[in-house]
Amino acid sequence: MLQVIETKNKIREYILESTFDDVENITDETLIFEKGVLDSMGLLFLIEFLKEEFGITTNDDELVVENFESINNIVAFIENKL
């Protein structure tokens, strides 16, 4: 459980540093692409961050919005890859 919280915090911090959005406006369920927090270029940078931070690689068939549309989905994606 603690690791999940730490992972969420790292993702939230990364998103906050990558956008001008206020962290209070971004919850674990916020649809970050629908809300315009990240765009397609932001997704590429996010994937690079996940590779560097967590040592995971992303296959082409995993590059779907559902895997990255919220902090909760990103954390679930990371957990499935580890």
**Structural domain spans, the chain:** 2-81
Residue listed under structure tokens 């999940």:
4
Virtual CA dihedral for 72, 9, 51, 33, nearest 10 degrees? 50
Global pTM reads: 0.88
Superfamily of domain 2-81: ACP-like (1.10.1200.10)
pLDDT tens digit sequence for 31-50: 999 988 888 899 999 999 99
**Can you give the pLDDT at residue 24?**
67
Token readout for 12 is: 């939230």
pLDDT tens digit sequence for 2-22: 788 999 999 999 998 888 666
**Can you give the pLDDT at residue 18?**
85
